[in-house]
């Protein structure tokens, strides 16, 4: 098993870009997550998640340079992240991971991170 900081070296910018694109392709039509995202800022949401993941997993720290410390719970506080929203987010991200078919070692690390982090984000 690889450590978290090795994921970026293994999948690079392209891997994260493909993953985040596959995730956000599902969001606008989703009945739970879709309403949480402003339709006119889907590109911005995609950029923020991609930059966050790149930096979190060993790549350039663009997210922190642009926005400061992630403060994930604070930034998501305005949104009702209950069990249903958490589970749907994980479900859509799992579908995205299935679609992009990253190397198995990175896939395992990312799935574990998304599962744990989504639970941490619950605020209702």
Domain coverage including residue 91: 4-120
Residue 114 near residue 87 (C-beta atoms within 8 A): no
- pLDDT of 10 reads 97
Query: What's the distance, Cα to Cα, between the start and end of the chain in Å?
Result: 34
CA–CA distance, 62 with 82 (Å, rounded to integer):
29
- pLDDT of 60 reads 96
CATH number of the domain enclosing 64: 1.10.490.10
Read off the pLDDT of residues 9-32 as tens digits, 9 standing for 90 and up. 999 999 999 999 999 999 999 999
CA–CA distance, 91 with 77 (Å, rounded to integer):
21
Residue 89 near residue 16 (C-beta atoms within 8 A): no
Give 76's pLDDT tier (boundaries 50, 70, 90): low
Residue 86's nearest CA partner among 115, 50, 49, 52 is: 115
What does pTM read for this prediction?
0.92
- pLDDT of 96 reads 98
Average of per-residue pLDDT across 102-110: 97
Q: Considering its fold, how many domains does the chain have in total?
A: 1
């Amino acid at each position: 098993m690889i450590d978290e900081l090795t994921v970026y070296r293994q999948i690079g910018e392209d891997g994260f870009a493909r993953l985040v694109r596959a995730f956000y392709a599902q969001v606008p039509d989703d009945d739970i997550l879709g309403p949480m995202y402003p339709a006119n800022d889907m590109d911005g949401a995609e950029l923020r998640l991609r930059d966050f993941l790149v930096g979190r997993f060993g790549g350039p720290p663009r997210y922190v340079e642009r926005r400061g410390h992630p403060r994930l719970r604070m930034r998501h506080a305005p949104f009702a992240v209950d069990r249903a929203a958490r589970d749907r987010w994980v479900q859509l991200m799992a579908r995205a991971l299935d679609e992009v078919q990253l190397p198995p070692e990175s896939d395992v690390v990312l799935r574990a991170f998304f599962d744990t982090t989504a639970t941490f984000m619950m605020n209702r």
